[in-house]
Chain A
Amino acid sequence: MTKSRTLAFALVLSAVGNPVGLAQHGMPGGTPMTFFVTSDPIGDGGNLGGLAGADAHCQILATRVGAGDFAWRAYLSTQARPGKPAINARDRIGKGPWHNFNGVMIASSLAHLHGDTLELARMGNNLHKQTGLTEKGAIVPGLYDYLDPRDNDWEYVKTTPYSNRHEVLTGTQPGGTAYPPEFDYTCDNWTSNRDPDPELAQGPLVAGPNRPNAQIGFPDREGGGNGSWNSSHGTRGCSQEALPRTHGIGQFYCFAVTGENP
């Protein structure tokens, strides 16, 4: 069996039900969904309407699938501005635990999610390709699912739900905190759809002077030389057209605020 067919088989199995013996007490009764990857982007690149716009997108998508009773937060940081302190993604999402569409636990706590100690970090959390599901229960197409030379082109990518789109906006450091304000990691705190000048849009995917940019992670934990779920590398810009050049479409993680004291 070829790799492609193997993956197709895995996707079909996952779409139909339970390929790996994971708990099947998902949304219809059982453990409620408190984590998902947005099935759709907002569609204006890195301009999400700020954190408020991103949170509203989470809430809308959750409500459509009957999970609107939770308070949903986008897993995004913003960087400090004069008179405005930075906001850390990890401080926005409650204390956990968080479960996906199928009721499978993604992480038991903030420390587990982020790997706050060497021991926790080496083992990792439970967010991977089979668990990093959308609010509709779908796997986010990732590396090697459907290799296609056109999958860097937004005009093509928006026509197919299957091409690689595994880069998820976070604007966040691996530990879950915001970056210092010097360079842009957040598409100007999620208000910008601008791209850098063409000569600055080349080279390593790192933030720098005059480079509109977003830090991204991978729900399939493959790519960037590390597979970080929340902080692997940057983008080619902040326009909707720039994001697919490195295999993202502007999706992000949504967490329900759980574990708070009543």
Chain B
Amino acid sequence: MTKITLPNACAFFILLGSSHAVLAQGVGYHAPRNFIPVDLMSFFVTSEPIGDGGNLGGLEGADAHCQRLATNVGAGHRTWRAYLSTQARPGKPAINARDRIGDGPWYHARGVLRRPIIKSEIHGDTLIEAQRGANMFKAFALTEKGNEINGVGDPMPNLHDMLTGTQPDGRAFADSADRTCNNWTSNNEGTAQVGHSDRIGHGNQSWNSSHATTGCSQEDFAGWNGAGLFYCFAVN
């Protein structure tokens, strides 16, 4: 037996080439076309990294990056927060990513969502919410420009690692190991906990807490299929 179905795959390719007009007007239950104007966008993945590895300039620097990218596409009237946690330090309590992003619900850049992102669902606050999973799919985790992030199965580079420094429930890690590139100030030593924007990889489907990187440099992130991108949520 053979698993290679190349002729079929090629036919599919050819079909696609001639069907873009059809693609543009596709309708269906799972792909509604109720486009939401950009001023309703309240969630995106950064289209570009800050570029200094895990040194984001702390939470403030990361929030400013969200705000700048949002402003570039006309969504600067909202208050934007990076979905990042910081760990406790002497005299400074930990900060949980889930506590920074408001109450939602959130819509992505193209408003293809029929249902928005719901905080309790993306964190699996109840067993049934956790079992069903988050309304956070590859085709929904769009940049502020409305583009998908390359993930598993796409042409390289795969950029699906999203910096979070966060546990699956949305809270900061409580142990002493570094999970946040020293609270987002290190571009060399340390590790960053990441999720996957395509929810594929490392044997799990976590969008916010799949695995840790080794190292915090821009090169370290690239070695793990990431570029130092992160999620941004509007709080209002």
| A contacts, CB < 8 Å to B | 1-6, 8-17, 19-20, 26-27, 65-66, 101, 105, 114-115, 117-119, 121-126, 128-130, 136-138, 143-144, 146-149, 151-152, 161-162, 164, 174-175, 221-228, 231-232, 245-247
A-contacting 9-mer, from B21-29, B35-43, B66-74, B228-236: B21-29
Contact flag A174-B131 (CB < 8 Å), given A143-B31, A148-B19: yes
- In contact, B31 and A4 (Cβ under 8 angstroms): no
- In contact, A119 and B153 (Cβ under 8 angstroms): no
Residues of B near A221 (CB, < 8 A) are: 133, 137, 199, 205
Chain A contact residues, majority secondary structure: loop
Report Cα–Cα, A93/B180, bound state, in Å.
41
- In contact, B3 and A137 (Cβ under 8 angstroms): yes
When C-beta atoms are compared, the residue in chain B nearest to A22 turns out to be B152
Report Cα–Cα, A80/B134, bound state, in Å.
30
Report Cα–Cα, A175/B210, bound state, in Å.
22
Show 8 A/B contacts (Cβ-Cβ < 8 Å), sorted by A: A16-B6, A20-B152, A137-B3, A144-B139, A147-B31, A149-B22, A151-B26, A224-B30
Report Cα–Cα, A221/B12, bound state, in Å.
22
In the complex, which residues 1-35 of chain B have their Cβ closer than 8 Å to any Cβ of chain A? 1, 3-6, 8-10, 12-13, 15-16, 19-20, 22-23, 25-31
The winner among B9, B25, B128, B132 for most chain A CB atoms within 10 A is B132
- In contact, A222 and B206 (Cβ under 8 angstroms): no
- In contact, B114 and A128 (Cβ under 8 angstroms): no
In the complex, which residues 117-137 of chain B have their Cβ closer than 8 Å to any Cβ of chain A? 121, 123-124, 127-128, 130-135, 137
Q: A123-B204, A143-B30, A147-B22 are in contact. List 18 more A-B contacts (CB 8 A).
A: A5-B16, A6-B155, A8-B16, A10-B154, A15-B8, A126-B203, A147-B23, A148-B26, A149-B27, A162-B15, A174-B131, A222-B30, A222-B137, A222-B139, A223-B30, A224-B30, A226-B132, A247-B29
Residues of A near B138 (CB, < 8 A) are: 222
